[in-house]
Structure 1
Amino acid sequence: MLADLGSGACDAVIVYNLDRLHRRPVELEEFVALCESVGVRDVATVTADIDLGNDDGLFMARIFAAFAAKESGRKSARIRRKMLQNAEQGLPHGSVRPFGYEDDKITLRNSEAAVVREMVDRYLAGQSLLSLTVWLNDSGVSPAVAKSWQTSAVRQILCSGRIAGLREHRGEVIGPAKWPAIITPAERDRILARIAARAVTKTRAARTYVLSGMLRCGRCGNRLYSQARHSNPGHRVRRYVCLKGPDHGGCGRLTVVAEPVEALLTDAVLTRLDSRDLAKVLAGKASPNHDVAALAAAVEADQTRLDELAGLYADGAISAREWIAARDPITSRIQQARRDIAEATDTSEVYELAGTGGALRVRWPDLDVERQRSIVKSILDHAVIAPGTPGSRSLDINRVQPHWRI
């Protein structure tokens, strides 16, 4: 609608009630500013028409927006209280069936509960999360929602208070649940202690790969992972590899040596920083289309709407189909707004770097890997690496296809 107003495709707005158009005063002010810029004055509702072109009409619109904001806030608070009350009573929440339980989220699904029991026994006996994930996939056990098991899903189940008969709210255990437990709270404490101990013992080394997360396999499209090969004692070859497995999902059939591809793409990035093509693109973006503060406020407002919807569904006021129909467009708006925020913020560094490719080339060896990555990532979205010729000892530049962020 806003796009149609801005383009001149429509010259009036018809809405059932004004609070269906805006529930936050800041949204109204943005709408009024747009209407003024394109000469649109009339807003028609079933109760009254509003002329935004005069002081009285604008005054009434602002009053309606203030009342709508107050009512929305009261409704959100009421829903949050209801969700907390349900949590304190140990009642389930959410629309997705938890693994180990039936659709009512109360009754045990015995076949899956037995799997959870074995997952816990195996983990406490010393198996890793990855080995559990491989075991689940090899055993043909289907997760509740996804097509296959991932390590993150296994960790989530093992750490959840649900399988220990505990009700959680906003990540905190607040009491016993109405559903039966699969394991004891003491066993869950042992699981959490082991996971915490492993997290403490893991120390992350400084990055040594400039292009981590920015390369894609030309065979299957999955990302390439950094992995060194020790061919001879004392000789370490840094590589980017397509990996198979439950947490990677690649084909496992492509490898590229890191040093030549990093040198090639670094040179391409520094050359692009000084190019006329980039200057033209930046000139076209000189007036940003996105107000980051407004986008962030829109995301917050839509998150509130999602909370309201969840509360209505939990209370039985709307059906699952109605909840999904209302949720999907809100979720899409949130995702688009976040992409717009990323675009508006990610290009800010490019404006500062444009025209500095030559100077950066001289300083490049003295920059740490994190800074090198930041510069490359500001320009390069990703690069696709095509399969190479077996036995080749050098990088064929035709294997590398960069996809520019800007």
Structure 2
Amino acid sequence: MDPMPHVTEGGLIPVASYARTSQDTRHGDARGVRNQHRINERTALDHGCVVVATYTDNARGATKDDRERPAFDHLLADLHRGHAFTAGPIDGVVAVADDRLYRRPDDFIRFMAALTAHPRRVYVGRDGLRDPYTKAGLLEGAASLEGAVAEGRMRSRRVQDWHWSRAMDGLPHSAPRPFGWLEDRQTLHAVESELVRKAIEHRIAGGSMGEVAREWVALGVSGTRGGRPNPQTVTQIITAPRVCGFRANRGVLLIDPETDRPLVGAWQAIVPPEQWVAVCATFSAGSLYMHRGPLSPRLTGRKAGPKYVASGFVRCGAELAEGGVCGQLMGGGKSGSRKSPYNYVCASGRGCGRCAISGPLVEEAIERLLFPGEGPGRVRLPEPIRQRWQSGEMAFEEKRRVISSVFDHFVIKPGRKGSTSWDHSRVVPVWKWADRIKAAELAA
């Protein structure tokens, strides 16, 4: 007979609360996910359960397969493991609606496999407990998936039609204002538009986007979303058809049916069409706005992925002259050293450019944090994970998932000039669920 679920001292089944919103509020206060967790706690108590761990994906969609949901992946990893690192056993999941968890068949399969990885788990919905091991429970979950897929397609079609209609009327994008224009998206921004015009002339004359990005950073220029300029964003800005007044939709230049010429938008142009064509000709197809679409990744014939285990996790910890730390993500790149064949570097175009560290040193420090040996450590991973990691059996992506389940990121302290020894203390971890880990340490 299958064992019964774990229960707390009050006789309640411990469950995990998952919350997700596709968009945050305009104030960026994460109110939607907070409300979902509040409802989940009430729903759990109404059905004999108690929330012992929370997982939150704020402003993250679940319809497209290229959207990352770190908290959802973390939840699945903990369900397979059978417990959260500091919260103890997890014997179920509660959510305000099925579509918060999954909107795609792949995610539904992954979730059900993780939920049923151990016996006697429960799924808690607004209507009560659902047995995920029975045919009825699976059919109910599949029915909700079918409804979510149909709703997602219908919503996507309505949004696409709305944007296309606006484009055909020559109206600007409804997203945050483009760089170079005021909030009305029609009137030129005196300073930004002049920067764009000079950048186009600089590129046509043979200049590099790195030079433009560094100049903009030195001038204190930031993007309309607050980001620091880099060569890729500058390229996207100056190759967007809007700079010469043309209107595009979903990476396609729209044609006026009456004139059979490119559709002209209802906003002021920065340069004439001839200059836009000339600057686009200086880039390869994979860099052009028209081949990428707004906010889309580069098209290179394959999906880009990290090359090094700690890529995307390490941030520059160098102190800035104006106060604070750089905080820029550090990219990985090859070096000429045998001891350190690759390094993580803070690029000067995006960050301060004053911090670099050996790649193997970072990964050795991460391994020491994950598997502290006989001494005390923040976490204690299962022994099979340690054996597979240290024996070399664990695959690259699985190592990254293990890192992601434990750490939020790592802050890299600058090294000392002339030092040839490896200093593992330069790698400062920022733990996931740091508040719970600290509480557990204090209780111990």
TM-score range with shorter-chain normalisation? 0.5 to 0.7
Out of 155, 165, 171, the position equivalent to 1:85 is 165
- Say yes or no: does 1:171 pair with 2:251: yes
1:225 aligns with 331
CA separation of 1:166 and 1:31: change in aligned 2, threshold 3 A: farther
Partner SS, residue 131 of structure 1: helix
Helix, strand or coil: the match of 2:280? helix
SS at match of 1:37: strand
Aligned partners of 1:242 and 1:251 also within 8 Å: yes
The answer on 1:132 being equivalent to 2:212 is yes
Partner residue, 2:358: 257
Report the Cα offset of residue 86 of structure 1.
2.0
* 1:3–1:229 distance in 2 versus 1, CA, 3 Å: same
Aligned equivalent of 2:84: none
Matched-pair contact (CA < 8 Å) for 2:370–2:381: no
* Residue number among 178, 189, 195 corresponding to 1:98 in the alignment: 178
Cα separation, partners in 2 of 1:243 and 1:77, compared to 1, 3 Å: closer
Give the letter for the 1:92 counterpart. Answer: P
Contact 1:165 1:180 in 2 (8 A): yes
TM-score (norm 2): 0.48
Distance in 2 between residues matched to 1:123 and 1:215, nearest whole Å: 32
1:184 aligns with 2:287: no
Aligned counterparts of 1:88 and 1:404: Cα–Cα separation in 2:
49
2:126 maps to which of 23, 31, 34: 34
C-alpha RMSD over aligned residues: 4.9
Identify the match of residue 376 of structure 1 among 383, 399, 409: 399
Which of these two proteins has the greater Rg computed from alpha carbons?
A: 1
- Distance, in Å, in 1 between the alignment partners of 2:155 and 2:333 is 52
- Paired amino acid for 2:278: R
Secondary structure (helix, strand or coil) at the match of 1:194 reads: coil
Q: Which residue of 2 aligns with 1:313?
A: none
Is this contact kept in 1: 2:245–2:267, CA < 8 A? yes
Are the counterparts in 2 of residues 133 and 154 from structure 1 also a CA contact under 8 Å?
A: yes
One-letter amino acid matched to 2:128: E
CA contact (8 A) 1:242 1:250 kept: no
Question: Which residue of the partner structure matches residue 114 of structure 1?
Answer: 194
- 2:315 is the counterpart of 1:216: yes
* Kept after mapping to 1: 8 A contact 2:213/2:230: yes
**Which residue number in structure 2 is paired with residue 308 of structure 1?**
none
359, 363, 387: which one pairs with 1:358?
A: 387
Identity %: 24
Contact 2:335 2:343 in 1 (8 A): no
How far apart in 2 are the matches of 1:80 and 1:203? 25
Q: Which amino acid aligns with 2:400?
A: K
Name the CA distance, whole Å, in 1 between partners of 2:222 and 2:315.
28
- Measured after TM superposition, the shift of residue 120 of structure 1 is 0.8
2:423 corresponding residue in structure 1: 396
The alpha-carbon distance between structure 1 residues 265 and 171, as it changes in their structure 2 partners (threshold 3 A), is same
Cα distance in 2 between the residues matched to 1:23 and 1:239: 44
In structure 2, how many angstroms separate the alpha carbons of the residues matched to 1:71 and 1:141?
41
Residue in structure 2 matched with residue 245 of structure 1 by the alignment: 348
- Identify if the C-alpha distance between structure 1 residues 76 and 390 changes in structure 2 by more than 3 Å, giving closer, same or farther: closer
Distance 1:405 1:90 in 2: 46
Q: Where does structure 2 lack aligned partners over 5 or more consecutive residues?
A: 1-38, 49-95, 103-121, 131-142, 256-262, 288-297, 319-324, 434-444
In structure 1, how many angstroms separate the alpha carbons of the residues matched to 2:284 and 2:329? 28
Structure 1, residues 182-224: CA drift from partner, whole Å, max 9, x if none? 2333433333333216869x99999875433333344434433
Cα distance, 1:224–1:372 mapped onto 2, change above 3 Å: farther
- Give the drift of 1:94: 1.0
Equivalent of 1:150 in 230, 235, 246? 230
For 1:106 and 1:229, locate their aligned partners in 2 and report how far apart those are by CA, in whole Å.
47
Aligned residues: 277
Give deviations 1:43-98, integer Å, cap 9, x for gaps. xxxxxxxxxxxxxxxxxxx9xxx9xx999998876665443222112122315332
| SS of the residue 1:213 aligns to | coil
Report whether the alignment pairs 1:160 with 2:240.
Answer: yes
- The answer as to whether partners of 1:213 and 1:224 remain within 8 angstroms in 2 is yes
Give the Cα–Cα distance (whole angstroms) in 1 for the partners of residues 410 and 225 of structure 2. 32
Do the aligned partners of 1:386 and 1:399 also contact (CA within 8 Å) in 2?
yes
- TM-score, length basis structure 1: 0.52
Q: 1:229 to 1:95 in 2, by over 3 A?
A: closer
The question of whether the paired residues in 2 share the 8 Å contact of 1:229 and 1:236 is answered with no
Give the gaps of 5 or more residues in structure 1: 11-20, 39-61, 280-353
Distance 2:305 2:225 in 1: 36
The one-letter code sitting in structure 1 at the alignment partner of 2:46 is G
